[in-house]
Amino acid sequence: MYFLITLLGSMEIGEKMSEMRYEAPKTLDAAVALLAGANGRARILAGGTDVVIQMRSGRIEPELLVDLKGIPEMMAIAAENGGFRFGAAVSGLDLIEHKALANAWPGVIDSVNLIGSLQVRARASVGGNLCNASPAADSVPALIAAGARVSIVGPKGKRDAPVEEIPTGPGKTSLAKGEIVVSFLLPKRPAHSGDAYLRFTPRTEMDIAVVGAGVNLTLDGGGICREARVCLGAVADRALLVPEAAAALIGSKVDAPALDRMAAAASAACRPIDDKRGTREFRIKVAGVMARRAAELALTRARGN
């Protein structure tokens, strides 16, 4: 029975096979030209862990697939102005295995390490995680908390934007037609900085966040929090930067009363859906809990450097 279903499944895909062109340009200019010249449905291919599934389920039927992994800027990881720039098509594992980046931004790396399985992380890219625009994407709240920016190219040239401006709703982004997210810039870290990302899932692996929380903070020499960013995932139609939660930490020693205020502000900002993975009430409560734990871990890390 199992094999029969598999066989029928593949026949259905076979019948639907229309002409789909595959291109692997070597430069950004060539990629932009291909996307601009595509009058029909064009799709970008990076790790493919979302796009290939969407193609096979029939949810999308592109006429042109543009594989960006042959473009050097899309695949590079390099120090820049004291921070790091990494290509949007770099695989999760390549990012995780970059020691200097992982040391500087452990919270970002923790978030990437939670995506799918080892098999998935060998392919899936952070650019794809962002542009697929799932509200539950793990790397997105961590990158927003980190203050990461994206570099974008398109038919009208180059621009850059903070990560939080890219997703606009489930499966939707602010990118114009033909625009490509090329790379992410993680800024230079002041001394005594730490970041963390934690999520709640019923299982420890291979699950989708019911709530995710990213916190990034910087202390001064006296242990007072001078900068903070708090971002929540899976509690709204997109990752939510919560300035009120950050404000509760700034100026404090990140002690219990500050953490209480921060958790309350995080919960108050949530506008989650109610579904089988978590009720609205549960997500709102757990968002505060996860934000608190993430802040505590970020604090420990900030004290350690």
Least Å distance, CB 118 to another protein, is 5
Bridge partner list, 228? 217
Closer CB to another protein, 200 or 216, in the complex: 200
Cβ within 8 Å of residue 158, ≥6 positions away = 151, 152
In sequence order, the β-bridge partners of residue 227 are 218
Q: How far is the CB of 193 from another protein (least distance, A)?
A: 29
- Least Å distance, CB 8 to another protein, is 12
| Residues 77-106 as x/- pattern, contact with another protein by CB under 8 A | ----------------x-------------
Residues 125-164 that bind another protein (CB under 8 A): none
Task: Please give the single-letter amino acid code of residue 169.
Answer: G
DSSP state of 91: B
Q: How far is the CB of 222 from another protein (least distance, A)?
A: 40
Q: In this structure, what is the dihedral angle of CA atoms 38, 40, 46, 49, given to the nearest 10 degrees?
A: -170
Q: How far is the CB of 12 from another protein (least distance, A)?
A: 12
* CB-CB neighbours of 10 under 10 Å: 10
The region of 1-9, 104-112, 184-192, 273-281 touching another protein under the rule CB under 8 A is 1-9
Q: Is 305 in the site for another protein (CB under 8 A)?
A: no
Q: Helix or strand or coil: residue 99?
A: helix
Q: Of 11 and 224, which has the nearer Cβ to another protein?
A: 11
Taking the least distance from each CB to another protein, the nearer of 3 and 304 is 3
- The C-alpha atoms of residue 284 and residue 269 are separated, in whole angstroms, by 8
3-state secondary structure of 100: helix
Nearest to 122 by CA among 89, 86, 90, 93: 93
**Residue 88 contacts residue 181 (beta carbons within 8 Å):** yes
**Of the ranges 119-127, 153-161, 192-200, 251-259, which one interacts with another protein (CB under 8 A)?**
119-127
Choose the stretch contacting another protein; rule: CB under 8 A; options: 111-119, 243-251, 261-269, 272-280.
Answer: 111-119
- Please give the residues from 9 up to 68 whose contact with another protein meets the rule CB under 8 A: 9-10, 13, 17, 19-22, 24, 45, 47-49, 52-53, 55-56, 65, 67
Least Cα distance to 68 among 90, 89, 86, 51 occurs for 89
User: Which of residues 52 and 256 has its CB atom nearest to another protein in the complex?
Assistant: 52
Amino acid letter, residue 154:
G
* Positions in 173-232 near another protein (CB under 8 A): 204-206
- Angle subtended at Cα 187 by Cα 223 and Cα 221, rounded to the nearest 5 degrees: 15
Q: How far is the CB of 125 from another protein (least distance, A)?
A: 12
Task: Report the largest interatomic distance among the alpha carbons of the chain, rounded to a whole angstrom.
Answer: 68
Tell me how far apart the alpha carbons of residues 301 and 104 are, in angstroms, rounded to a whole number. 10
Stretch that binds another protein, among 8-16, 128-136, 168-176, 272-280 (CB under 8 A): 8-16
Which residues of this chain interact with another protein, rule CB under 8 A?
Answer: 2, 6, 9-10, 13, 17, 19-22, 24, 45, 47-49, 52-53, 55-56, 65, 67, 69, 93, 116-120, 122-123, 204-206
